[in-house]
Chains A and B, each alone.
Chain A
Amino acid sequence: MVKHAKPKGFYDVFERKSQDFPAGETTHYCPGCGHGTVHKLIAEALVDMGLQDRTIFLSPVGCAVFGYYYFDTGNIQCAHGRAPAVGTGVARSLDDAVVISYQGDGDLAGIGTAEIVHAANRNENMAVFFVNNAIYGMTGGQMAPTTLLGQSTTTSPLGRKSEREGGPIHMAEVMSALEGPIYIERCTLSSPAGVMKTRKAVRKALTNQSEKRGFSFVEILSPCPVGWKMTPVQSRSWMASSMESVFPVKRFRDEEAAPKGNGRLPFLDDGALRDLVGAVANEVPTKVSTLSQDLGVKIAGFGGQGVMSAGILLANAAIHEGLHTTWLPSYGPEMRGGKANASVVLSSDAVGSPVVDVPQALLAMNGPSLDAFENHVVPGGLVMVNSSLISRKVERRDVRVFEAPVSDLAAEAGFLKGANIVMLALFALESGVIGIQTLKEIIPKSMKNKDLVEINLRLVDVAEEFHGRE
């Protein structure tokens, strides 16, 4: 006598079942439901293939929400439709895990379409078992994305009509449009032969998974007698007569894929990580300057004039001087050619506000910048004007004005783009806030493009010569 027993891949007793379902050795599924069959095929395969310890089973939202009642594996319960994203997180964390995403049609083909499409497209290392029963079972027999035309449900009581609800979505075919998946097959539970083919497909997907060959997708047409209001026998013949003509049962893809690497670079140890991120110990500032009060500097011009990088250079020079500093950018809507200004605050103390609304110094690189900020400068403040591009005079009488044709000076030295450096060097010389020597030390350190170091240092000399003449 053959004694049928539960597969060892299931728990002996389903202790996680709540009081809403009778605890013990039976599942919560309705009589005639296909989930029990698919569960059994997976559980048997996991044991036969020795994968139980390595497996992490993702339960969806839907009838299989309680997958973790049954599978004696690592279990994660997921939000509705999100299991392929959760599985991505698992697969990216555990190289050797066997990740199973078990989903129904509302979960995978409705709310979770983005997640399944992109996980498949990335060829994530996971096996997806998609149980398609053309209805929302758990929530009360509503229309699913896979509900057939003419099929009546609690939310398509007159029968699904393409003009009203659109037609059923074909997920195996959608998967086939993607380059990622290595294995795609649609099976059916309508007959014992179909179940045996499904058994093979389950094992094929799990083999791919255990050998880390990539993304496998098995769609399983499955009966829901209660949702369909049929007897189990009727439901199987309806599957054969109606479902399988809409959802052709076939193998869509079976690639001979080599095991996938994880694509990661070597894991850096603590020392190498510190070096990479720049966590460098102990560099004491060469000097500690003091300022009698916080100094707010506004550097303004059009995008591409280097006002941002001049600000960064000023802030770096401030650090070199042992000062506290902040740099705050403000861009116009355009990336290039629009208005741009940088606010830099220098202080002997920790900087409070980085916002410079009333600057002690304005470095105006073009006319609109002078127009915009001249009136904001604090009385007694410094206004530096790029007279190459600004023809008008500063109207304020209560500020100190320094004019210099910084664009022309830079162009004459052969590097128009360095007008910002000429302006900054002149500001250093005129204000005395940072030393010109500091600037010369900072330029080689903070310039990313080392080819430009020499010309920028020459522009500092140009500024010094000009300042000496003035």
Chain B
Amino acid sequence: MKRTLMKGNDAVVRGALLGGATHFFGYPITPASEIAHGAADLFTRSGRTFLQAESETSAINMMYGAASSGARTMTASSGPGVALMLEGLSYLAGSQLPTVIVDVQRAGPGLGNIWPEQSDYDMCCKGGGHGGFHNIVLAPSSGQEMADFAHKAFDMADAYRMTVVILSDAYIGQMMEPVALPQDVRHGARKSWAVYGDEESRSNLISSIVMSQEGLANLNMELQAKYQRAARDLTDWEEEQTEDAQLIVVAFGITARIALTAVRMLRSEGHRVGLLRPKTLFPFPQERIAELAQVGGRMAVAELNEGMMARDVERAVAGRCPVSRYNWFGGVVPSAEEMVLRMKEDLDG
């Protein structure tokens, strides 16, 4: 396949269209605006629908309407905008509507700045809005994965009737890499539960209200069962030289790219180090992390936040080995050399 140099923010739009997306509702925000630019061009020219909403709140509700009508719909934003969508995410989860959201993370809190952080981890992976719900969270660490994950996200969303969040960051979104776009064009099928404005679907109801306690308890149990099924079927990760590693770094997104270089540098000096990169953050590869956590070994969690994923890793490790935390924030992105220094401290310690 032809490898074309493109930004992650461009690849994700093209992957989504090939994955069957038909409706994009957006609101501009740096560093995700390029996705809206690309969608405005390509969704419109391909006879799909692009609409700039008056706010992120409206964008997610337009998605609620489009998904209710059986469409494959998406948006893209960054932390402050995704925060405004949390109300809608909860309603989407309660009504079991499939949608796709790309979060190109910037640094916070508040308006923060437009450099990369991974501090939307908790907001996206732990549900985010009110009530007990989850999203499927994919963590691309390259332009190629921006295209591939967007391509498969709509099938996944439909299969589980869940929101799929593609949790990217300012670097993965804005850097350019060679990308080979998927060849097969996917399409959504008619959904038995959606409302199409026709006789067949007239009796259907899209709603997140369940007035009886027992009924709402049942809905919650149904959701939890679905999340367990997702954990069994979707959990995905990649390992680099973990077999004999004394120190395994766990990292996702841009941080995993930097950690990969650091691992290669230390390996070339003869150090036994490895990398585990979660490709899904919800479901999280906790069982594999537990397997790799050996007595005498060590793990480290490298991330651009104050330790959000580290809490999940520590829970999986459950005290079997020490877990270090390498944290950067404010938009500071470490070089591989800095990562090597942190890893050497742990190897020496």
Show the binding face of A for B, using Cβ within 8 Å.
16, 18-20, 52-56, 59, 65-66, 68, 72-79, 82, 85-94, 96-98, 114-115, 117-118, 264-268, 270, 272-274, 276-283, 285, 294, 312, 315-316, 319, 324-329, 351-355, 357-358, 446
Judge whether B53 is part of the interface by a CB distance below 8 angstroms: yes
Chain B residues near A89: list those with CB within 8 A.
Answer: 23, 25, 61-69, 71, 73
Chain B residues near A68: list those with CB within 8 A.
Answer: 205, 207
Chain A residues near B205: list those with CB within 8 A.
Answer: 16, 68, 75-77
Judge whether B5 is part of the interface by a CB distance below 8 angstroms: yes
Listed stretches B40-48, B222-230, B309-317; interface member: B40-48
Among A93, A114, A265, A351, the residue within 8 A (CB) of B55 is: A114
Q: How large is the interface on B (under 10, 10 to 19, 20 to 34, 35 or more residues)?
A: 35 or more
Judge whether B47 and A268 touch: CB under 8 Å.
Answer: yes
Q: How far is the CB of A83 from chain B (nearest CB, A)?
A: 8
- Count of A-B contacts judged by CB separation below 8 Å: 255
Chain B residues near A94: list those with CB within 8 A.
Answer: 69, 196-197
Chain B residues near A18: list those with CB within 8 A.
Answer: 211-212, 215
Judge whether A352 and B261 touch: CB under 8 Å.
Answer: yes
Among B2, B23, B87, the residue within 8 A (CB) of A93 is: B23
Judge whether B17 is part of the interface by a CB distance below 8 angstroms: yes
Given contacts A18-B215, A54-B197, 20 further A-B contacts (CB under 8 A): A77-B207, A89-B64, A118-B58, A265-B47, A276-B42, A279-B182, A280-B181, A281-B183, A282-B2, A283-B2, A315-B176, A326-B176, A328-B175, A329-B175, A352-B336, A353-B257, A353-B258, A353-B262, A355-B171, A446-B5
Judge whether A86 and B64 touch: CB under 8 Å.
Answer: yes
- The answer for the CA separation of A324 and B177 in the assembled complex, in Å, is 8
Chain A residues near B53: list those with CB within 8 A.
Answer: 85, 118
14 cross-chain CB contacts under 8 A: A85-B64, A88-B51, A88-B58, A90-B65, A92-B51, A98-B197, A277-B14, A279-B183, A294-B261, A324-B178, A328-B171, A351-B257, A354-B171, A354-B257
- The answer for the CA separation of A82 and B25 in the assembled complex, in Å, is 14
Chain A residues near B207: list those with CB within 8 A.
Answer: 59, 68, 75-77
Q: How far is the CB of A85 from chain B (nearest CB, A)?
A: 4
Judge whether B335 is part of the interface by a CB distance below 8 angstroms: yes
Across the interface, name the chain A residue whose C-beta is closest to B72.
Answer: A93
Judge whether B239 is part of the interface by a CB distance below 8 angstroms: no
Judge whether B218 is part of the interface by a CB distance below 8 angstroms: no
- The answer for the CA separation of A278 and B206 in the assembled complex, in Å, is 37
Judge whether B219 is part of the interface by a CB distance below 8 angstroms: no
Q: Which of B62, B202, B209 gathers the greatest number of chain A CB atoms within 10 Å?
A: B62
Across the interface, name the chain A residue whose C-beta is closest to B41.
Answer: A276
Judge whether B174 and A329 touch: CB under 8 Å.
Answer: yes
Judge whether A90 and B66 touch: CB under 8 Å.
Answer: yes
Across the interface, name the chain A residue whose C-beta is closest to B3.
Answer: A319
- The answer for the CA separation of A118 and B205 in the assembled complex, in Å, is 26
Chain A residues near B198: list those with CB within 8 A.
Answer: 53-54
Across the interface, name the chain B residue whose C-beta is closest to A69.
Answer: B205
Chain B residues near A74: list those with CB within 8 A.
Answer: 195-197, 201-202, 204
- The answer for the CA separation of A283 and B178 in the assembled complex, in Å, is 13
Judge whether B337 is part of the interface by a CB distance below 8 angstroms: yes
Judge whether B185 and A85 touch: CB under 8 Å.
Answer: no
Q: How far is the CB of A446 from chain B (nearest CB, A)?
A: 8
- The answer for the CA separation of A277 and B14 in the assembled complex, in Å, is 6
Chain A residues near B293: list those with CB within 8 A.
Answer: none
Judge whether B176 and A312 touch: CB under 8 Å.
Answer: yes
Judge whether B54 is part of the interface by a CB distance below 8 angstroms: yes
- The answer for the CA separation of A87 and B25 in the assembled complex, in Å, is 13
Chain A residues near B333: list those with CB within 8 A.
Answer: 355
- The answer for the CA separation of A18 and B174 in the assembled complex, in Å, is 50
Judge whether A77 and B206 touch: CB under 8 Å.
Answer: yes
Judge whether B88 is part of the interface by a CB distance below 8 angstroms: yes
Judge whether B199 is part of the interface by a CB distance below 8 angstroms: yes
- The answer for the CA separation of A279 and B211 in the assembled complex, in Å, is 48
The 9 A-B pairs of least Cβ separation, nearest first, read: A89-B65, A352-B261, A97-B197, A74-B195, A18-B211, A85-B61, A357-B335, A267-B47, A77-B207
Q: How far is the CB of A230 from chain B (nearest CB, A)?
A: 28
Chain B residues near A86: list those with CB within 8 A.
Answer: 61-62, 64-65, 68
Judge whether A85 and B58 touch: CB under 8 Å.
Answer: yes
- The answer for the CA separation of A78 and B262 in the assembled complex, in Å, is 49
Chain A residues near B149: list those with CB within 8 A.
Answer: none
Judge whether B174 and A328 touch: CB under 8 Å.
Answer: yes
Q: How far is the CB of B33 from chain A (nearest CB, A)?
A: 14
